[in-house]
Amino acid sequence: MTSARKKYPAFVLIFLPSFLIATKPAPPQQLSIQEAVASALKHRPDLEALTFATQANKSAAKGAIAGYYPTITFNNTLWQEIGQNHPANSALLTANQLLYSFSGPIQNYKRAKKYAEISKLDEDVLTNKIKLEVERTFLQAWFLQQQRVTITALKKSSTETYTKAKHENKLELLDKNVWLTNTEQYASSISNIDQYYDDTITTYKRLEFLMGQSLLLTEGDTSKKVLTKLVWRPLKKSIVHPLATYYNLAINNRPELEQAIKKIDIERYNIQLAQGSRLPTISANASAGHQALVYPSGININRGYHSMGLTVDWTIFDGLVTQYKEQQSEANKVKEILNKEQTVLSIKQEVQDKYFAYSKALTKLKAQKISYVRAHNEFVLRKQELEIGQISPVDFQTAKTNWEQSQLDWYAANVVTELSKRDLWYACGYPEFLQS
């Protein structure tokens, strides 16, 4: 009995698994904030959809200007009347060329071009939003990454402190209230540690979703998973410019404001189109044809003909339709002007809020640095006391944990400051002037 399984050469069986593994993109070992943003912009379907929307609007603009291209039409008719022995034939070739229209291809092209420009600015708006979202998630994940060392130390010191208190309680060397306090603190620490691991995986998964790329290097228990290392260093010095500088940057760089201006332009073109509809249209036309007729008497007639001329179309009265359209466009123009003014006010308010939030974060960062330096000096002192035997290893571990917590607070202050700064960058439209 022969087997139904299809046999493959040995080299195929060896090559196939390695090929499948090679086609799956491997997670990066290290990842910078710039790489995370680039990956997110590359894998966003909604951003790609806007790109095609821009292409569609550009094609619509080209289609509008095509109204000034000549049109050529060929028509051939074959018919037979009652009593005719043979069918008659007529062929006609017609060419038309629009010379000028006050509400024609040029005006429609200009308006369609504005729609294409607005669509392109939609891409810029979404790009800025994606960029800010990725940056915020990246920095949150980076902070959790830095917290891992502190969490490990906290778990160790909490366990050692609880074990020490447990033995002292057995020997009745510890007050019952102190024992209950230590038990409560230990339970709270373990709960915070478990929550930390959950928060870390959740934040990494959110960053994966935004990037469209895996950041998990190994599978396993939540506390033992190996994640991509996020690389970011706080700036040593932050420069704060006057508030007016950020106002000007936002006015010149926010795509939403540029969109508002183009919407006003569209309504102006709509007014011109409505007014132009009441004016004449001039076009040139030419035709050439041939007819073949056969009469019942047997007489055959073949004749050719051609003609050329100019056509003027002028609607004298259209029931006030175009006048109402003009009034409608005028009202829409005023509406868009007011919307633009409101956009300016909203952007200025947003810039102002982010500016003061950033300034406040910088002030807190300076204060946190003083606490950070003091905690470091205390840790060095406790280390020296351990070396000469003045304190126990457990007390030193507690001092080390306090130092690591102070270091974590320093990292947290840097992250808050960076988030505030990037919020301000977003409010200004991510100008290169601020990012350089």
Model confidence over 190-216: pLDDT tens digits? 666 777 788 888 898 999 999 988 887
pLDDT (0 to 100) of residue 13: 40
The span from the CA of 127 to the CA of 356, in Å, is 25
Does the pLDDT at position 178 exceed 80? no
Which residue has tokens 């410019």?
Answer: 241
User: Which position has the higher pLDDT, 42 or 407?
Assistant: 42
* Domain total in the chain: 2
Higher pLDDT, 100 or 192: 100
Q: Determine the pLDDT at residue 377.
A: 86
Is residue 382 in a domain? yes
State the pLDDT at residue 37: 94
User: Do 327 and 210 share a structural domain?
Assistant: no
If asked whether residues 142 and 124 sit together in one domain, one would say yes
Instruction: Tell me the C-alpha to C-alpha distance, in Å, between residue 23 and each of 9, 16, 77, 209, 212.
Output: 21, 11, 61, 20, 16
Residue keyed to tokens 């919307």: 339
Asked if 204 contacts 142 with a C-beta cutoff of 8 angstroms, the reply is no
Same domain, 201 and 152: yes
Phi/psi of residue 216, each to 5°?
Answer: -100, 120
| In the predicted structure, residue 259 carries a pLDDT above the cut 60 | yes
Q: Is residue 5 part of a domain?
A: no
- pLDDT tens digits for 303-357? 777 888 888 888 888 778 888 888 999 999 999 999 999 999 999 999 999 999 9
In this prediction the pTM is: 0.75
Indicate the pLDDT class of residue 87, thresholds 50, 70 and 90: confident
Distance of CA 160 to the CA centre of its chain: 48
Q: Is residue 406 part of a domain?
A: yes
Strand partners for 302: 292
For the chain, the first-to-last Cα distance in angstroms comes to: 75
**For the chain, what is the radius of gyration of the CA atoms?**
38
Q: Say whether both 167 and 31 belong to one domain.
A: yes
Which of 19-33, 46-60, 66-80 is predicted least confidently? 19-33
Q: Residue 251 sits in which domain range?
A: 236-278+314-436
Task: Starting at the earlier edge strand, list the strands of the sheet with 88-101.
Answer: 71-79, 88-101, 281-294, 300-313
270 and 376 both lie in a single domain: yes
CATH at 147: 1.20.1600.10
Residue 164 domain-assigned (yes or no): yes
CA-to-CA distance for 255 and 120, rounded, in angstroms?
Answer: 9
Pair (187, 256) in one structural domain: no
Q: Which of 170, 202, 232 is the last residue of a domain?
A: 232
Classified as helix, coil or strand, 30 is strand
Q: Percent of the chain at pLDDT above 70?
A: 78
Residues 261 and 382 in one domain: yes
The reply to whether 383 falls in a domain is yes
- In this structure, the answer to whether residues 212 and 247 fall within a common structural domain is no
Determine, yes or no, domain membership for 82.
no
Q: Smallest Cα–Cα separation from 209: which of 39, 351, 375? A: 39
- Using DSSP bridges, classify how beta strands 229-231 and 30-32 pair: parallel, antiparallel or unpaired: parallel
**For 80-101, what is the mean pLDDT?**
77
Domain boundary among 202, 232, 262: 232
Do residue 218 and residue 268 come from a single domain? no
Nearest in space to 116 (alpha carbons), one of 155, 63, 80, 70: 63
In a domain, 88, yes or no: no
| DSSP 8-class letter at 298 | S
For residue 355 the two structure tokens come to 């500016």
**Is 150 within the bounds of a domain?**
yes
Count of CB atoms within 10 A of residue 400's CB? 18
Residues 124 and 244 occupy one common structural domain: no
Residues 318 and 221 in one domain: no
Whether residue 266 sits in one domain with residue 220: no
Residues 175, 177, 181: CA angle, nearest 5 degrees: 115
Question: CA–CA separation, 338 vs 345, rounded Å?
Answer: 11
